[in-house]
């Protein structure tokens, strides 16, 4: 039986490592994928994911249940990703093949070889296109497309207006379209 996030948080706040482990396992895939799409390589994505969960653990006592855990978690992930982008102030070097191989090791089922090739090529294109966007636009694309948040949720999470989130999203899509057309 699945426990609600709030039940697990309360147990984790009371010191239950099993509850904390359940929460991490519930969200680690989403946070890892978010991190990978933002930073562009598996090692940095793993580091960012660990920073997110460490930050969450350190501040677990502050969670009051006024928002969903996923919203709070992605606010932490968003802030950590922006901090990382500021520290680097350079775009990541992409190695989509290595990243894809590492992700495949994490999966229990291997897709067929032709599906693997398609995924590698698609993943490489997506990562390359996303890496050419400014961090603020890349973040809005991540939150809207991959995390399926509304513009209002993105605005709350990012500390911007919903209209700014929309503008960044559509500007990013236009830039991606232009980049794709330039490659053909």
Domain with CATH 1.10.10.10 in the chain: 132-184
> What pLDDT, on the 0 to 100 scale, is given for residue 76?
84
CATH topology of domain 132-184: Arc Repressor Mutant, subunit A (1.10.10)
CA dihedral 118→121→124→126, nearest 10 degrees, is -70
What CATH number is given for 1-96 in this structure?
1.10.1740.10
d(CA 136, CA 111): 33
Domain with CATH 1.10.1740.10 in the chain: 1-96
Who has greater pLDDT, 132 or 124? 132
Overall pTM surpassing 0.75 (yes/no): no
Residue 98 neighbours by CB under 8 Å, 6+ apart: 41, 42
Share of the chain above pLDDT 90, in %: 12
> What pLDDT, on the 0 to 100 scale, is given for residue 103?
52
> What pLDDT, on the 0 to 100 scale, is given for residue 167?
92
In the predicted model, what is the mean pLDDT of residues 149-169?
A: 88
> What pLDDT, on the 0 to 100 scale, is given for residue 181?
82
């Amino acid at each position: 039986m699945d426990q609600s996030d709030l039940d697990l948080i309360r147990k984790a706040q009371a010191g239950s490592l099993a509850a904390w482990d359940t929460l991490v396992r519930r969200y680690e895939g989403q946070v890892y994928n978010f991190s990978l799409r933002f930073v562009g390589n598996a090692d940095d994505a793993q580091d960012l994911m660990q920073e997110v969960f460490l930050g969450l653990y350190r501040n677990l006592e502050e969670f009051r249940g006024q928002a969903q855990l996923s919203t709070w978690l992605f606010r932490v992930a968003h802030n950590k990703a922006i901090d990382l982008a500021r520290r680097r102030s350079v775009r990541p070097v992409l190695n989509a093949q290595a990243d894809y191989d590492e992700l495949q090791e994490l999966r229990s089922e291997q897709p067929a070889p032709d599906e693997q090739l398609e995924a590698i090529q698609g993943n490489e294109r997506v990562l390359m296109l996303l890496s050419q966007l400014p961090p603020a636009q890349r973040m809005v694309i991540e939150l809207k497309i991959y995390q399926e948040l509304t513009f209002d949720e993105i605005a709350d999470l990012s500390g911007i207006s919903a209209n700014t989130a929309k503008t960044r999203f559509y500007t990013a899509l236009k830039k991606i379209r232009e980049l794709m057309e330039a490659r053909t």
